[in-house]
A and B are shown apart, each in its own frame.
Chain A
């Protein structure tokens, strides 16, 4: 069994990649993809802790709560992608660009 620390390091790295992408990429599609990476980092955490919890309490059998939450999270991520892409499509129709540096009219 792989120790929990490995999973946590993996998910931290994935989150850092996602955050880096959100903060630096100009293309809104790539920003959206980076957000997906951050979500998946969280999903890994959920599954990892779920498994870790079961290993700590062998008498309780397999606890699937964390895994079920991961499934919910994936479903919500799918919905979020749909909404996000729809917004980006509208933005593109309006401004002919999806460069997030240029989409900044909501300001002082």
Chain B
């Protein structure tokens, strides 16, 4: 039996769980109002995903010849749904299945106090997991777009889970509307491709301009535009600058949702889309450069915002944006390397970082959830001294922080280093990548600093407010321990078997590549490269700086309140005023424009419509007098008409010669 043929069943398990939780009578829901169904659905998908991943690791993929089902027939074009299981999809399946299942398990503890609303929570979470799997295994852009919108819907529903809070309701709306800007670009991109190719299947599109027999061709400027637009979808979904401000606001949702949707899976969809579009992107260096610049700028801006955030979840949210920026930067620079040197190291590095980041960021978010569960606030200024009370949480969060800071041998070190190395090598091709590399290095330093600032503020020192902290129940700590284990070990995937790079480059290999290096070469390359030691040194300096400023006594932080430093501090606390700019733009400029449009609509358009109806009514008022109700007058008019007609036939027609 070929397991890959049944990969379409993966989203079905969580979907059945969603249907059961949403529709079954309340008394049948069992533990925690549907938690049991959630575990079963997520677990079933996890098991099948692992079988599929195992097959892919054995070198089997299911791409062009996958089974398809016809969904719609429009004219001569059949819209089909199918599955596309390659190494990249397997990687995302791994992330979604592990993090999804662990988050559902963890929710059993975290959402325990929510009562009746847990049912809605579990239903929405299961729907999200289901459509996320659907997005990952989609085999054409239309199918991907449908699931893309559905994950956006689930994100909206779950950010607004506590919709009674006005801030949560508005954050949900904001997330939905801002990501919609990207979605429109994505849609425009695929419409453009469809116009020129007449098909949206990856199997057809990835052969574009390949020169193979029967391969469609697209003019290069159109291809650049469409790939840039598709990347625009990634800007929205992966919260890249300038559409990144929705993600920190999205922290209004439950922490489990932040961990699953806004750190590990949905926001990765943008990166996944970019990586998925690689066979097209590597033909358009302009789009790749655009992506790389967006990624580098995002990484730096988000990291600076994280320096001054006091909300533990917002620190993590900015950190997520920053790391997503890394992945996009890696993909952009990596595409340049593929385009010019047939070297896939940027692509493998970015996808590797995608996997590692999913594990350690989910870990960090779930740790933050555990802390919030214990303390009852998000504000790190009110925490402190939690290490004594929460041994497991503080240890696992330390592991997560070390991983993201890039301390070997934890996972973040390997992948971040690979990304930075790829960007540096792309600098040989275009000096702008050297600038982006500097941004990346600065981001690495700041990442180490703000992560440890967060850890010290939360766990070290003395309690700064009155709370009775306690370690979270085992149902929450066990997922933390599993994720901590993954945060430590997932980096070694680089060396397992033939090595991660050899595994990941396979799907693009057939298009552009030839040959690859062995796992041993990779290790040697990492440890002989001076850049490795530069980024490592910066990470250590960042950690020590945080230690000095937030752990050791006697550091006067009031210097940040004065002079230039004070201005900078306020700018950071206000997120570089980007959010304020959007608010001002919406409230003043756009509102003013809307008022003009409103006046135009009322005066001119409504005026024209009302004018015409008034004209019609006036004419009708005059000629309706003919309708007198007097039968004899009607008869007279009929006879008059007959006489005129007869006179016409008798005199005018013969005279005119007709």
Interface residues of A (CB under 8 A from B): 19, 22-24, 31, 100-101, 103-108
B618 interfacial by beta-carbon distance below 8 Å: no
A106: which B residues are within 8 A, CB to CB?
Answer: 629
Query: What is the CB-to-nearest-CB distance from B635 to chain A, in angstroms, rounded to a whole number?
Result: 5
Determine if B625 and A23 form an interchain contact, defined as CB atoms under 8 angstroms apart: no
Say whether A22 contacts B632, CB under 8 Å: yes
Closest residue of chain A to B631 (Cβ to Cβ) is A100
A15 to chain B, nearest CB (A): 10
B632 adjacent to A23 (CB under 8 Å)? yes
Most buried by A among B624, B631, B636: B631
The verdict on B589 contacting chain A, using a C-beta distance below 8 Å, is no
The answer to whether B627 touches A107 (Cβ under 8 A) is yes
CB pair A19 B629 closer than 8 Å: no
Q: Give complex CA distance A24, B639 in Å.
A: 13
- Asked whether A19 lies within 8 Å of B639 as measured between CB atoms, the reply is yes
Closest B residue to A19 using CB positions = B639
- Please name all residues of chain A whose beta carbon is closer than 8 Å to the beta carbon of B630 when the two chains form the complex: 100-101, 104, 107
Total B residues in contact with A, Cβ cutoff 8 Å: 11
**A35 nearest CB neighbor, chain B only:** B635
Q: Which of A19, A22, A23, A104 contacts B628 (CB 8 A)?
A: A104
**Shortest beta-carbon distance from A4 to chain B in Å:** 19
Report yes or no: B625 in contact with A108, Cβ–Cβ below 8 A.
yes
Chain B, interface SS category: helix
- Residues in B with CB closer than 8 Å to A107 are 627-630
Secondary structure of the A contact surface, majority rule: loop
Establish whether residues B635 and A23, one from each chain, have CB atoms under 8 Å apart when the complex forms: yes
Given A19-B639, A23-B639, are A31 and B628 also a contact pair (CB < 8 Å)? no
Question: Does A104 lie within 8 Å of B635, measured CB to CB?
Answer: no
Most buried by B among A24, A106, A108: A108
Residues of A within 8 A of B635 (CB): 22-23
A59 to B613, CA, bound (A): 68
Residues of A within 8 A of B627 (CB): 107-108
Contact (A108, B632) CB under 8 Å given A19-B639, A23-B639? no
Nearest CB of A to B634, in Å: 10
19 additional contacts (CB under 8 A) given A23-B632, A23-B639:
A19-B639, A22-B632, A22-B635, A23-B635, A24-B632, A31-B632, A100-B631, A101-B632, A103-B631, A104-B628, A104-B629, A104-B630, A106-B629, A107-B627, A107-B628, A107-B629, A108-B624, A108-B627, A108-B629
**Which 5 residue pairs are nearest across A and B when measured between Cβ atoms?**
A107-B629, A104-B629, A108-B624, A108-B627, A23-B636
Report the Cα distance A38→B627, complex, angstroms: 25
Q: Contact mask B330-372 → A, CB, 8 Å, 1/0?
A: 0000000000000000000000000000000000000000000
* Chain A residue nearest to B626 in the complex (CB): A108
Cβ B632 vs Cβ A105 within 8 A:
no
Q: Could you write out 10 A-B pairs with CB less than 8 Å apart? A: A19-B639, A22-B632, A23-B635, A31-B632, A100-B630, A100-B631, A104-B628, A105-B629, A108-B624, A108-B625
- A104 surroundings in chain B (CB, below 8 A): 628-631
Residues of B within 8 A of A24 (CB): 632
